[in-house]
Amino acid sequence: MTPNMPVARRMADIQPFHVMDLLARARRLEAQGRDIIHLEIGEPDFPTPAPIVEAGRQALADGHTHYTPATGLPALREAIARFYQDEYGAHVPPERIVITPGASGALLLVMGVLVNPGAQVIMADPGYPCNRHFVRAMEGEPVGVSVGPDTAYQLTPDHLADTWTERTAAAMVATPSNPTGTLTDTHSLKSMIDFARSQGGNLIVDEIYQGLVYGERPMTAAGLSNQVFVINSFSKFFGMTGWRLGWVVAPEPYVRELDKLAQNLFLAASTPAQHAALAAFTPACREILEARREAFRQRRDVLLPGLRALGLRVPVTPEGAFYIYGNSTAWGEDSFVLAERLLEEAGVAVTPGIDFGRHGASQHLRFAYTRDIPVLEAALERLRQWLG
């Protein structure tokens, strides 16, 4: 930035995804004819389920292209409320559900409503990189807490008690977590909600990978308390990444504030996407989504033992999302250099730990099992040969 092209100070603290540079390099290699296996992308390879696509096409044919209310299409808020009831036995009135342009829009609103300049937001390190940038955008201070295998890479009530200060506005939990795929438990979650509220703050629970839990039955923080912010999305489980649609469940007194901010910051979420999403809860679609969940589980069950056998240390089995986050020091010292070498020399693209924080960042890599099993097996074979 030249001196007479001034840029706001926050931008110095807002990092691009480092994996984007890697992705650009991968594209150049592909343009040269190299075959690259992409395990760096946090986006399922599955297309949007046919019933949702069909509902989207029908919505367009029916002329559903005008604005909806800022809080979203009433019918979609009601459908999500029913989903909480039917799936989790959680009573969440539609009035507490605000539809947003992706989980990103939900995070923007929640941070805008909760975070004063200088206020702190506690979050796990490693964690989803955008979280700290949403806080920084609002002139708040993200407080990363180093988490490791001992707590399944999750914040605990003890972490909150140790880290909470008078300046703390909120703490964030992601379950399943990106990048680790690990879960928190109901008891911890309830304790953290209560602790945050007892301090006059709030807990924000990111459940955008909620539908993708293997082994145990997924749960929702919205069923534990009506005093918690829950972020969710149609992107990952429902397969609607490019449509940009998510939601937030908010404590009732905050809904009016979220509405006000939504009116001003984005007017409303995409109308065709909202109509399409109504089909996400139909039995036909749920059947497809359950089959995909099972496919993800099978992929994990191929990639995880394969990587462990090659020396990646994954001390806590990831029970959700579609990520494996492992200690890669057996393969090389610096995981960023390692990611570059794996791309260039083995033709396998993965995400370096640095994209998820500072704690142990250079010792870890994230693998996304967003590709089919034969591709995962080919990636394992390439790694095996590269390791020699």
Beta-bridge partners for 365: 326, 352
Cα diameter, the chain? 60
- Compare residues 269 and 278 and give the one whose CB is closer to a copy of itself: 269
Q: Which part of the chain contacts a copy of itself (CB under 8 A), choosing from 97-105, 146-154, 323-331, 359-367?
A: 97-105
Residue with smaller CB distance to a copy of itself, 104 or 363 = 104
Told to check if 106 binds a copy of itself by CB under 8 A, we report: no
- Footprint on residues 24-63 left by a copy of itself (CB under 8 A): 43, 47-48, 53, 56-57, 60-61, 63
Cβ proximity to a copy of itself, 53 vs 316, nearer residue: 53
Reported in sequence order, the residue ranges of the chain that DSSP labels E, i.e. its strands, are 37-38, 97-100, 120-125, 141-146, 168-174, 202-206, 229-233, 246-249, 323-327, 348-349, 351-352, 364-368
Fill in the per-residue mask, 125 to 164: x = in contact with a copy of itself (CB under 8 A), - = not in contact: ----xx--xx--xxx-------------------------
Distance, CA of 348 to CA of 195 (rounded, Å): 43
Task: Enumerate residues 303-362 that contact a copy of itself by CB under 8 A.
Answer: none
Does residue 215 contact residue 185 with C-beta atoms inside 8 Å?
Answer: no
Q: Could you tell me which residues come within 8 angstroms of residue 71 by beta carbon, excluding any fewer than 6 positions away?
A: 77, 97, 98, 99, 255, 258, 259, 262
Q: Are 174 and 203 in contact (CB under 8 A)?
A: no
Q: Which amino acid is at 281?
A: F
Decide: is 168 part of the binding site for a copy of itself (CB under 8 A): no
What is the SS3 assignment for 70? coil
For position 65 contacting a copy of itself by CB under 8 A, the verdict is yes
Entry field: residues in the chain: 388
Residues 204-243 that bind a copy of itself (CB under 8 A): 239-243
CB of 213 to a copy of itself, least distance (A): 23
CB of 104 to a copy of itself, least distance (A): 5
Question: Does position 282 bind a copy of itself by CB under 8 A?
Answer: no
Number of residues near a copy of itself (by CB under 8 A)? 76
Q: Does 197 bind a copy of itself (CB under 8 A)?
A: yes
The residue written with tokens 């004819």 in the block is: 33
Q: Does 115 bind a copy of itself (CB under 8 A)?
A: yes
Query: Is residue 252 classed exposed, middle or buried when 0-12, 13-18 and 19+ CB atoms within 10 A define those classes?
Result: exposed
Q: Which lies closer to a copy of itself via its Cβ, residue 117 or residue 388?
A: 117
The least CB distance from residue 280 to a copy of itself, in Å, is 13
* 67-96 binders of a copy of itself (CB under 8 A): 67-68
